[in-house]
Amino acid sequence: MQETVDLSLFARPSGDGTLGMDLAVEGIACGACIGRIESAVKRLPGVTQARLNYTNRRLHVDWTDGALTPAQILQTLEEAGYHGYPFAPLRAEEEAAAEARRLTRCLAVAGFAAMNIMLLSVSVWAGNSSDITPETRDFFHWASALIALPAAAYAGRPFFASAWQALRAGALNMDVPISLGVILALGLSVVETANHAKDAYFDSAIMLLFFLLVGRALDHAMRRKTRAVAGNLAALKAETAHRFSGDELVSVPVAALQAGDRVLVKAGERVPADGGVLSGVSELDESLITGETARRKVAAGATIYAGSLNYSGALTMRATAADRATLLDEIERLLEQAATAKSRAMRLADRAARLYAPLVHLTAAATFAGWWLAGASLHDAVVTAIAVLIITCPCALALAIPAVQVVASGALFRAGVILNAGDALERLGEADTVVFDKTGTLTLPEPRVVDASAVDRNLLQMAARLALSSRHPLAQALARESASHIPYDVVTEEPGQGVRAMLGGIEARLGSAAFCGVAPVAAGQPGASHIYFVYGSRAATIAIAQKLRPDAAEVVQALRRRGLTLHILSGDRAGAVRPVAEALGITKWLAEVKPAEKIAFIEALKRQGHRVLMVGDGLNDAPALAAASVSLSPIAAADVTQAQADAVFLGERLKPVLDALVIGRRARALMKENLMSAAIYNMIAVPVAILGWITPLIAALAMSGSSLMVTLNALRGGRAA
């Protein structure tokens, strides 16, 4: 049956009769790929534009409507040696791009203003100690005001808006003292300039905005970069489903499936939607959903869930996305509850702001009252109080945490960990207990050959190469052992039984025991499935099972050395969990745990005062991930689960979990150090300000000095774990 591909879901009209599509491109290795990809796609008839963004590995193509189908673009990329994955840009990503442009514009304006005002201010400072005339000084001050006031009104908006929002909600955040400091500094300076005073603080206010915007823009850029990578990975993972339209099979993205669609699920594919089986008999691996590794037999009438792996036969199913299956319903309900519970945890920065803002405002008020009662003029008392507000304006404090976050999330990114949540770093640093799921987390997501050395090497290689021609999951696990990536020429597949081929004039068969004509293994490896291979008179039995991640034992040991308590919570049978726990030396393990019980277990740990890191990949883990203090998920995890995790790690190894904890701890320590040094700075600067000794020059020096100090300190967080 010829299958057509329908990707119209991803093509979006761009207004002038053309359609546009974005693709995540895999396989870009060097700069030369840019030209190769763009010219190949541009040669297609009807393509008006093809532009590859090398930074985020995405290709945007525009073409005249009707001139070609999106599938042709994919095929052209395929022929050029690249894989393209169409994706619909997430709304969140587009909003982040707009926000980044806004921040950069504010940063540019603040930078321009800060430089020009500094130029004028330095002249005034120099002139004040020599022979500047009051008229010239006033002129310089008015010129500064002319630059500073519009610049602050434009570049200060991110802070003013956030402060206003916090105040309206009856809360205090770091932006409240910042906004107040900037506005008062500018207001005071205008009044002082009108009175021909010696000092004005235009430069302090604008420099403060500039430094803070640098921190904010960097933080934002780092987060966008990781989000773009996460978006590409999601596109790479997005699977297609085979939908019947009439009698014809059409390959569509899973997102385009609707309730009532008739869908074919071939052997070796994942079930694309929840639904009921119409025809066919097969076995399903539901480990991604329940953690259970034993397979379930299904036939017509059975209910099946999205994410299950179809093991043996082809199934025709009817999707029922509209009336959600009870399992997903249950998981989503638990998720919501757990997520609201977590949002109550407060971030370090907000805690500092809650402490800091009232303290600063009280100090300023006390300064005013003190000077006034001591007999100073109203003018002098106000000026001194405002100087206190300016000098305590939390430049270093506001940079203390974002600077560390930027550097540490860069280090995490290089270690293969992508942060989803902004405050995950702090929470990672606090974790003292790690709860692992078993299937797909401690073990590799796909099964592997258990003991390759027990089988004759030549036979194993032959079997593995033969397995390349089969879509059966056991065969695919065996195919990973193959040194060659080229399948044998003429291979016949007997659906549900095995594959056979003539190799050098002798028949080779790979498949079930009956298919190979040998006796099945009575009691082989526990928890393993067996696949049989015969080549003439020689035969081999190959055991395939879930295998531990290659560095699981080392990582578990390293975690224990760092004083973390380790648990395993699995939905799988005790017989399957025990060997894993014993191999890793984890004594605290529980098997056959239901999603609600996982939550209860984690809640109990939290009540005892532990900070729990949950590492899991299954749908059954998603609520537990949300309930834990912080959560990690491998990239192979189910979509719902991944969305719930604070961070996602890439690759086959478990080491990123260790790296994440190490970098998180270091980041937290640096954040505390930075908050501490900002506090020390204030302890020195505030008394000076209260005494009324602050000049604009001292304010400028103090502000840049303290900002530089916390930024340099934050850079120490960038080393690899």
Partner 1 sequence: MNVLVYLIPMALGLGLLGLFGFLWALRSGQYSDVDGAALRVLADDDIDPKPLQ
Which residues are near partner 1 by CB under 8 A? Answer: 30-32, 34-35, 39, 52-56, 101, 104-105, 108-109, 112, 115-116, 119-120, 133, 136, 139, 143, 147
Nearer to partner 1, 116 or 367 (CB): 116
Q: Is 633 exposed, middle or buried (0-12, 13-18, 19+ CB in 10 A)?
A: buried
Alpha helices per DSSP H over 195-308: 202-237, 287-290
Return d(Cα 283, Cα 269) in angstroms, integer: 12
Q: How far is the CB of 32 from partner 1 (least distance, A)?
A: 8
Nearer to partner 1, 228 or 636 (CB): 228
Return d(Cα 151, Cα 114) in angstroms, integer: 9
Please work out, in degrees rounded to the nearest 5, the angle formed at the alpha carbon of residue 286 by the alpha carbons of 333 and 473: 150
Residue in 635, 669, 665 with CA at minimum distance from that of residue 236:
635
First-residue to last-residue Cα distance in the chain: 52
Nearer to partner 1, 52 or 404 (CB): 52
Nearer to partner 1, 60 or 672 (CB): 60
The reply to whether 572 belongs to the active site is no
Cα 267 from chain centroid (whole Å): 32
**Which parts of 301-428 are beta strand (E)?**
303-304, 309-310, 315-319, 417-419
Q: How far is the CB of 89 from partner 1 (least distance, A)?
A: 13
Q: How far is the CB of 54 from partner 1 (least distance, A)?
A: 3
* Tokens 């534009």 belong to residue: 49
User: 589-590 and 565-569 as β-strands: parallel, antiparallel, unpaired?
Assistant: parallel
Q: How far is the CB of 421 from partner 1 (least distance, A)?
A: 25
Q: How far is the CB of 31 from partner 1 (least distance, A)?
A: 3
Residue in 674, 152, 166, 171 with CA at minimum distance from that of residue 402:
674
Tokens matching residue 267: 């052997």
Return d(Cα 629, Cα 77) in angstroms, integer: 43
* Tokens 């005249």 belong to residue: 64
Q: How far is the CB of 238 from partner 1 (least distance, A)?
A: 23
Q: How far is the CB of 109 from partner 1 (least distance, A)?
A: 7
* Tokens 């100087």 belong to residue: 387
Tokens matching residue 24: 């995540």
Please work out, in degrees rounded to the nearest 5, the angle formed at the alpha carbon of residue 246 by the alpha carbons of 245 and 249: 50
Catalytic residue among 203, 437, 621, 659: 437
Q: Is 485 exposed, middle or buried (0-12, 13-18, 19+ CB in 10 A)?
A: exposed
Nearer to partner 1, 112 or 515 (CB): 112
Nearer to partner 1, 151 or 319 (CB): 151
* Tokens 């200060």 belong to residue: 156
Return d(Cα 52, Cα 39) in angstroms, integer: 11
Nearer to partner 1, 41 or 284 (CB): 41
User: 262-265 and 240-245 as β-strands: parallel, antiparallel, unpaired?
Assistant: antiparallel
Q: How far is the CB of 380 from partner 1 (least distance, A)?
A: 30
Nearer to partner 1, 119 or 503 (CB): 119
Residue in 531, 419, 546 with CA at minimum distance from that of residue 478:
531
Cα 33 from chain centroid (whole Å): 27
Q: Which residues are catalytic?
A: 437
